[in-house]
């Protein structure tokens, strides 16, 4: 065969291998989720699995799991390789780490790697990661917004051996168990992570047997190179120029008079990479725990750019190559050791908003208003005879899009769908809690030609004294609107006392006492609106009134709409609808 024929043959056959590589990662993540012990993953699905080559390049990534983790496996494998050179690795070795200054995320997210030996050499790694329920630190469950350094956030692990040639390293297991408030769960989770890594490794070994090591390497290299070509083509279609975007964070929970800003300068079509993101102008790192380790900041930056290319492009190393990202050491996005990084989601979502802010100028047809972020919280009584812990979170509304309303109550950007929020009944069965209600918040979506999505209110009565830890964001500055759209309603959190009075709670603080009989209320924010509310279609306003997403008062106030009185089972008629003029 000549070269063209060889190329044709490889294109005819490539997808079979690529599919197998994706399935291997997928299968590993399924095993982790199904066999894990921590409520965060077992009720939700906060797991991720990937395949990497021996140089640390990402080959494939599970497709149904949390993308917050997308870059972490590839960013942290080099640390494993630095501490454990390839030639020292043995078949059956398994490594674990979480150091956020070397590619990790934060203490509670454990990354597990297993070298895959083919013909006597390490050719690949399989990696799995999940959020475990507790790994120490000054608040049960690992939400420590007040941490001023990484030591307060939990046990730190450099890349260390969890299994040596298939045998459990008991010393390390004992060390981890002793540092967790929920040792049984964390030990169970470690087993799940290792099982997932094994499953993917077995698939790779089988593929090597089927294709031969050389053809497998070639297939992987072509896969990554092809992805890179597609990324370059798509990014090349963006209008060249320099676009600036920024997003302000409420605060770090400690220095309340300082609102750090993430700033990005996006250069499209410059001399270097097709897209260059320079975050150098971002504010300095914070004292509180909202800093993002570089792998997390990179996740946010690449994720946001990927939203402007064909979504079917696979996730592998080829996605990273055409995007140049610059962070400034000592800034929020690449802080100096030992800054606290547990609340990195606050900065990373601001990274996404800043990039979207910039690229909305390059692609007005793809413009998007700002969204709510995740509101993580724990309720726990960690000491005393019967320790218990709820680690959960809630989502809010997404920003309106240039041609549609923002979806309500779902994860923004890489955070995925609300299927990861646990259902109420199993939580009540395990924990001394009674959920009083869970409801959409009418009028929380930012008014606009396209309306922002709605936030959610959750009310949880605690039956025993406990502590609440919260890491909310967009509670001082509501998600902003765009192009004349108004901001969504900001989130809030407070306690309701048995006598009906209320007591404020801090949005970013751990160890806040709650007493038996009190109710913890969490409201997530609504997404920003896009376009002037006056331009909203009357039929859409009517539909919102019927569904209760917008109240009659708000329809009048925000949209100047007077046509319809929404009452149960009374369908609005188009003829009666009208709008006040002169607004």
Partner 1 sequence: MSERCVLGADIGVTFTDIVLTRGDGQLHVVKQLTTPGAPEESVLGGIRRLLETTGVDPASIERVVHGTPLATNAVIEHKGARVAFVTTKGFGDLLRISREARVEDDRYDLFFEPSPPVLERDAVFEIVERCDARGEVLVGFDATQARAEAARIARYAPEAVAVCFLHSYARPDHEEAMEAILHAAMPDVRVILSSRVHAEMREFDRASTTLHTAQVAPLMARYLARLREGLGRLGIQGPLHIMESSGGVMSAAVAAERAVATLESGGAAGVMAAARFANHYGEKRVISFDMGGTTAKAGVVHDGRPRVVRELHVGGRGSYGGRRAGTGMPIKTPTIDLAEVGAGGGSIAWLDPEGVLQVGPRSSGADPGPACYARGGEAPTVTDANLVLGYLTPERFAGGTMALDPARAHAAIAKSIAEPLGTSVVRAAWSIHEMANANMASAVHVVTVQQGIDPRDHVLICFGGAGPMHAAGLASRFGLSHIVAPPEAGVASAIGMQATDLTAEHGHTHWIQAADLTVAELSRQFARALEVAREKMGLDDDEASLAGALEVERLVDARFVGQSHELSIPYAPAPGQEAAELAALPARFRARYRELYGIESTGAVEYAAFRVRLRIPVARPPLRRSAREGTDAPAAEWRDVWFGADKASRTRILTRGDLAQTGTLSGPLLVESDVDTVVVPPGWSATVDEVGSVHLRRE
Judged by CB under 8 A, the chain residues 317 through 356 that form the site for partner 1 are 356
The minimum distance between CB 254 and partner 1, in angstroms, equals: 32
Window 354-373: residues binding partner 1 (CB under 8 A)? 356, 366, 368
The minimum distance between CB 342 and partner 1, in angstroms, equals: 23
Cβ-Cβ contacts under 8 Å for 166 (sequence gap 6 or more): 91, 92
Interaction between residue 546 and partner 1 (CB under 8 A): yes
- Which one, 403 or 573, has the nearer CB to partner 1? 403
Interaction between residue 34 and partner 1 (CB under 8 A): yes
- Among 138, 160, 177, 191, which residue sits at the site for partner 1 (rule: CB under 8 A)? 191
CA atoms in the 13 A half-sphere facing the CB of 76 = 37
Collapsed DSSP state (helix, strand, coil) of residue 295: helix
Interaction between residue 421 and partner 1 (CB under 8 A): yes
Interaction between residue 526 and partner 1 (CB under 8 A): no
Query: Are the beta carbons of 135 and 186 closer than 8 angstroms?
Result: yes
- Among 151, 388, 435, 494, which residue sits at the site for partner 1 (rule: CB under 8 A)? 435
Q: Segment contacting partner 1 (CB under 8 A): 182-190, 236-244, 284-292, 330-338?
A: 182-190
Residue found by looking up tokens 């078949």 in the block: 91
Cis peptide before 338 (omega within 30 of 0): yes
Compute the distance between CA of residue 570 and CA of residue 545 in angstroms, rounded to an integer.
11
Collapsed DSSP state (helix, strand, coil) of residue 359: helix
- Which one, 8 or 256, has the nearer CB to partner 1? 8
DSSP for 19-71, written as a single string: HHHHHHHHHHHHHHHHH--SHHHHTS--EEEEEEETTS-EEEE-SSS-GGGHH
Compute the distance between CA of residue 197 and CA of residue 27 in angstroms, rounded to an integer.
10
Window 445-474: residues binding partner 1 (CB under 8 A)? 456, 459
Compute the distance between CA of residue 330 and CA of residue 284 in angstroms, rounded to an integer.
6
Interaction between residue 386 and partner 1 (CB under 8 A): no
- For the chain, give the number of residues: 583
Residue found by looking up tokens 């001082």 in the block: 476
Interaction between residue 436 and partner 1 (CB under 8 A): yes
- Among 74, 102, 161, 230, which residue sits at the site for partner 1 (rule: CB under 8 A)? 230
Window 295-314: residues binding partner 1 (CB under 8 A)? 303, 306-307, 309-312
The minimum distance between CB 252 and partner 1, in angstroms, equals: 27
The minimum distance between CB 42 and partner 1, in angstroms, equals: 4
- Among 281, 321, 434, 538, which residue sits at the site for partner 1 (rule: CB under 8 A)? 434
- Among 184, 255, 535, 553, which residue sits at the site for partner 1 (rule: CB under 8 A)? 184
- Among 239, 280, 437, 573, which residue sits at the site for partner 1 (rule: CB under 8 A)? 437
Neighbours of 35 (CB within 10 A): 17
Window 209-228: residues binding partner 1 (CB under 8 A)? 226-227
Query: Are the beta carbons of 94 and 129 closer than 8 angstroms?
Result: no
- Among 57, 131, 173, 198, which residue sits at the site for partner 1 (rule: CB under 8 A)? 198
- Among 55, 63, 174, 383, which residue sits at the site for partner 1 (rule: CB under 8 A)? 63
- Among 213, 548, 552, 560, which residue sits at the site for partner 1 (rule: CB under 8 A)? 548
Collapsed DSSP state (helix, strand, coil) of residue 241: strand
Compute the distance between CA of residue 12 and CA of residue 41 in angstroms, rounded to an integer.
39
């Amino acid at each position: 065969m000549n070269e063209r024929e060889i190329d044709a043959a490889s294109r005819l056959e490539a997808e079979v291998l690529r599919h197998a590589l994706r399935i291997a990662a997928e299968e590993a993540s399924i095993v982790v989720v199904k066999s894990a012990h921590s409520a965060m993953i077992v009720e939700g699905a906060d797991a991720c699995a990937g395949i990497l080559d021996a140089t640390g390049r990402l080959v494939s990534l599970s497709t149904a799991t949390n993308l917050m983790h997308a870059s972490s496996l590839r960013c942290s494998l080099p640390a494993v390789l630095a501490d454990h050179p390839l030639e020292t690795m043995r078949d059956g070795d398994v490594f674990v780490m979480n150091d956020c200054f070397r590619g990790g995320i934060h203490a509670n997210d454990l990354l597990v790697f297993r070298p895959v030996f083919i013909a006597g050499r390490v050719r690949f790694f399989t990696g799995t990661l999940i959020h475990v329920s507790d790994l120490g630190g000054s608040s049960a469950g690992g939400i420590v917004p007040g941490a001023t350094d990484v030591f307060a956030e939990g046990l730190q692990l450099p890349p260390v051996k969890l299994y040596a040639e298939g045998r459990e390293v008991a010393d390390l297991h004992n060390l981890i168990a002793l540092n967790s408030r929920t040792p049984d769960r964390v030990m169970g989770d470690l087993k799940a992570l290792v099982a997932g890594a094994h499953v993917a490794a077995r698939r790779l070994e089988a593929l090597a047997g089927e294709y031969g090591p050389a053809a497998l390497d070639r297939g992987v290299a072509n896969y990554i190179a092809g992805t890179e070509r597609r990324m370059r083509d798509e990014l090349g279609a963006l209008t060249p120029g320099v676009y600036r975007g920024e997003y302000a964070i409420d605060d770090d929970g400690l220095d309340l008079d300082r609102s750090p800003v993430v700033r990005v300068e996006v250069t499209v079509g410059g001399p270097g990479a097709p897209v260059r993101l320079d975050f150098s102008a971002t504010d300095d790192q914070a004292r509180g725990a909202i800093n993002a380790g570089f792998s997390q900041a990179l996740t946010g930056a690449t994720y946001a750019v990927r939203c402007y290319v064909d979504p079917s492009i696979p996730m592998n190393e080829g996605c990273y190559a055409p995007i140049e990202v610059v962070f400034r050491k000592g800034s929020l996005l690449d802080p100096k050791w030992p800054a606290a990084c547990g609340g990195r989601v606050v900065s990373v979502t601001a990274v996404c908003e800043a990039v979207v802010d910039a690229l909305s100028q390059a692609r007005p047809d793809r413009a998007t208003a700002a969204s709510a972020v995740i509101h993580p919280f724990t309720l726990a009584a960690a000491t005393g005879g019967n320790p218990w812990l709820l680690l959960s979170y809630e989502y809010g509304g997404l920003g309106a899009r240039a041609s549609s309303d923002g979806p309500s109550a779902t994860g923004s950007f890489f955070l995925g769908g609300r299927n990861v929020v646990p259902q109420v009944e199993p939580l009540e069965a395990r924990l001394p809690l009674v959920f009083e209600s869970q409801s959409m918040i009418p009028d929380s979506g930012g008014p606009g030609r396209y309306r922002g999505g709605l936030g959610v209110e959750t009310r949880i009565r605690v039956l025993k004294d406990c502590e609440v830890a919260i890491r909310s964001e967009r509670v001082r500055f509501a998600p902003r609107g765009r192009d004349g759209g108004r901001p969504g309603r900001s989130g809030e959190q407070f306690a309701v006392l048995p006598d009906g009075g209320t007591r404020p709670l801090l949005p970013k603080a751990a160890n806040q006492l709650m007493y038996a009989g009190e109710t913890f209320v969490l409201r997530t924010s609504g997404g920003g609106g896009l376009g002037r509310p006056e331009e909203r279609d009357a039929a859409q306003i009517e539909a919102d009134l019927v569904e209760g997403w917008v109240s009659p008062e708000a329809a009048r106030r925000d949209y100047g709409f007077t046509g319809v009185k929404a009452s149960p089972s009374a369908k609005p008629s188009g003829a009666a609808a009208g709008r006040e003029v002169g607004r």
